[in-house]
Amino acid sequence: MTKKELIDIVAEEAEITKKAAKIAIDSLLGAIETSLTKGEEVSLTGFGTFKVKTRAARNGVNPQTKAPVVIPEAKVPTFKPGKALRDKVAE
């Protein structure tokens, strides 16, 4: 599903315009992004939790030259689905 398809579904189900649905979805995604950049956790009960985890530095190999490369530590967003979502998907 693309963002455009999501906007169409939200507009239809909420009986609002596509423009209003786009604003609502953009606001939701923006709020999640802002919280994650601050290092905060975003928990949507029944859906799941968005977090920022720190991936430790590690050694890797450049596939072209086979030279060893140090991959630096990185902060990455993660999503852990809630039980209700896991159960629905498993059906």
Residue 8: CATH number of its domain: 4.10.520.10
Question: Into how many domains does the chain fold?
Answer: 1
pLDDT (tens digit, 9 = 90+) per residue, 7-25? 999 999 999 999 999 999 9
Domain that holds residue 71: 3-90
pLDDT (tens digit, 9 = 90+) per residue, 22-38? 999 999 999 999 999 99
Full 3-state SS string of 27-76? HHHHHHHHHHHCCCCEEECCCEEEEEEEECCEEEECCCCCCEEEECCEEE
Q: What is the pTM of this model?
A: 0.80
